[in-house]
Amino acid sequence: MRIGVFGGTFNPPHIGHRRLAELVKQAVNLDRVLVIPTFIPPHKREQSLAAGEDRLEMCRRNFTEDYFTVSDTEIRREGKSYTFDTLCALKKDYPGDEIYLIIGSDMLLSFHRWYEYRKILSMATLCVISRESTVPCSQLADYARDTLGLLAERGEIILLDTEPLECSSTDIRFDLLCGGSGFPYLCQEVADYIKEKSLYIDAYTPYRQLLRGRLKKKRFLHSLNVADSARELARLYGGDEEKAYFAGLLHDVMKNAEAADQLQIMEKGGIILSQTEKNNPKLWHAMAGAAYLRLEMGVEDEDIINAVRYHTTGRKEMSLLEKIIYIADFISAERDYPDVEVMRHLALGESLEAASLYSLQYTIGSLAPKAQLIHTDSVEYYNELIIERMKGDQTDDRA
Task: Note the residues at the interface with ligand ATP (CB under 6 A).
Answer: 8-11, 16-17, 20, 103-104, 106-107, 129, 131, 165, 167-170
Q: In angstroms, give the least distance from the CB of 134 to ligand ATP.
A: 13
Could you tell me if 158 and 126 are in contact, meaning their C-beta atoms sit under 8 angstroms apart? yes
For ligand ATP, the closer of residues 103 and 152 by Cβ is 103
Measure Cα distances from 77 to 39, 63, 91 in Å: 8, 22, 16
For ligand ATP, the closer of residues 11 and 356 by Cβ is 11
Phi first, then psi: give them for residue 36, nearest 5 degrees.
-125, 100
Q: Residue 386 is inside which H or E element, if any?
A: helix 376-398
Q: Omega of the bond prior to 12 within 30 degrees of 0, cis?
A: yes
For ligand ATP, the closer of residues 41 and 269 by Cβ is 41
Q: In angstroms, give the least distance from the CB of 166 to ligand ATP.
A: 6
Q: Omega of the bond prior to 184 within 30 degrees of 0, cis?
A: yes
Backbone dihedral region for residue 98 (phi beyond 0: left; psi -120 to 50: alpha; all else: beta): beta
Could you tell me if 24 and 102 are in contact, meaning their C-beta atoms sit under 8 angstroms apart? yes
Q: In angstroms, give the least distance from the CB of 348 to ligand ATP.
A: 29
Which residue's Cβ lies closest to ligand ATP? 104
Q: In angstroms, give the least distance from the CB of 137 to ligand ATP.
A: 13
Nearest CA to 212 out of 175, 159, 164, 239 is that of 175
Q: In angstroms, give the least distance from the CB of 165 to ligand ATP.
A: 5
Contacts of range 318-321, beta carbons closer than 8 Å, 24 or more positions apart: 318/381, 320/237, 320/238, 320/239, 320/352, 321/234, 321/239, 321/240, 321/243, 321/244, 321/247
Residue 228 three-state SS: helix
Nearest CA to 193 out of 64, 54, 36 is that of 54
Q: In angstroms, give the least distance from the CB of 23 to ligand ATP.
A: 9
Quick one: DSSP state of residue 274? P
Q: In angstroms, give the least distance from the CB of 133 to ligand ATP.
A: 11
H helices, E strands: number in the chain: 20, 6
For ligand ATP, the closer of residues 8 and 182 by Cβ is 8
- Distance between CA atoms of residues 244 and 177, nearest Å: 19
Q: In angstroms, give the least distance from the CB of 47 to ligand ATP.
A: 9
Strand-pairing partners, residue 210, are none
